[in-house]
Amino acid sequence: MGKKKNIILGLVGLEILALPLAIPATAQIVERVFFSVPPRIAQVELPPEPGKTSFIIASNAPFSILSESAVGDMSVNIQVQGLVNGNSFGQNAQHPGPAEPCVTPITTAPSTVYKATRKTAANKGAVIAQAVLIEIRYDPTLSPKFSLATLDQPQAQTASLAPSCTSANS
């Protein structure tokens, strides 16, 4: 029993002595290995108001907002930080990209009313801290159905881009 105990203690001691050498090697491996994360969107639709739909959106990839079942002018407003129902959002967020001040879906088929050029997350943190608020305003008589998709999803790739109001009206 004494030999086995000494062998086990010797191996444990060797592991403890090798630990300072193993940690930097492991850190270098982690730095050099690229971990890919699938593109995702977390969204919460706020209670709708006549003529306005709002989403809290956090994404790790660019995304599109699609509208269907409505034809008419829509405006998209993006707020990077603020409060919603007493909860703060956006402390670790960035602006996902420019928005047309006014777009006009010209068909009831899915149309892209907003296309983000980057993710909402600027820094690590809670999902709500990486989120932005996007408000879409439209004629209160319309009943558009909105959906979100990352740019690699088929529905985002096949939807037509809604033209700006000036080009749609000319």
Are residue 3 and residue 50 in the same domain, yes or no? no
Please state, in angstroms and rounded to a whole number, the distance separating the CA atoms of residues 72 and 62: 25
Are residue 19 and residue 57 in the same domain, yes or no? no
pLDDT at 2: 77
Are residue 19 and residue 52 in the same domain, yes or no? no
Are residue 71 and residue 11 in the same domain, yes or no? no
Are residue 55 and residue 27 in the same domain, yes or no? no
Please state, in angstroms and rounded to a whole number, the distance separating the CA atoms of residues 57 and 14: 50
Please state, in angstroms and rounded to a whole number, the distance separating the CA atoms of residues 111 and 158: 9
Q: What is the pLDDT along the chain (170 residues), one digit of tens a residue?
A: 678 888 887 877 777 777 676 666 666 665 566 667 788 899 999 998 999 999 999 999 999 999 999 999 999 999 999 998 888 999 999 999 998 889 999 988 999 999 999 999 999 999 999 999 999 999 999 999 999 999 999 998 999 899 998 765 55
Mean model confidence pLDDT for the chain: 87
End-to-end CA distance of the chain: 93
Angle at 75 between CA 107 and CA 166, to 5 degrees: 70
Are residue 139 and residue 92 in the same domain, yes or no? yes
Are residue 94 and residue 133 in the same domain, yes or no? yes
Indicate which CATH number applies to the domain containing 135: 2.60.40
The domain total for the chain is 2
For tokens 């930080």, the residue is 81
Are residue 31 and residue 56 in the same domain, yes or no? no
Indicate the burial class of 159 (C-beta count within 10 angstroms; 0-12, 13-18, 19 or more).
Answer: buried
Are residue 6 and residue 83 in the same domain, yes or no? no
Write out the residue range of the structural domain in which residue 158 sits.
Answer: 41-169
Are residue 91 and residue 61 in the same domain, yes or no? yes
Are residue 1 and residue 81 in the same domain, yes or no? no
pLDDT at 72: 92
Please state, in angstroms and rounded to a whole number, the distance separating the CA atoms of residues 22 and 37: 27
